[in-house]
Amino acid sequence: MKLMTAHKILIATAVLFFAGYAVWELRRYSQTADVGALLRGAAAMLGAAGLGIYLRFFVRSLRQ
């Protein structure tokens, strides 16, 4: 396996885990109204978005 392929798989997996964790924390916030859960969920959403954007630019840079 090429290093670039492994990197894409790793980043895509991280995006999925960040998004899953965000959903989990936001559901917890809706059940308990814990502000900490809301902040962790928001941070995880930002992390997923940031890594998703990075993955998109990384894949585009490989095509050039």
HEC profile for the chain?
CCHHHHHHHHHHHHHHHHHHHHHHHHHHHHHHCCHHHHHHHHHHHHHHHHHHHHHHHHHHHHHC
How would residue 37 be classed by pLDDT, with cut points 50, 70 and 90? very high
pLDDT at 64 over 90: no
Compute the residue count for the chain.
64
Query: Residue 8 has what pLDDT?
Result: 94
- 21-35 tens-digit pLDDT: 999 999 999 999 999
Q: What percent of the chain has pLDDT over 90?
A: 89
Query: Residue 62 has what pLDDT?
Result: 87
pTM of the complete model: 0.85
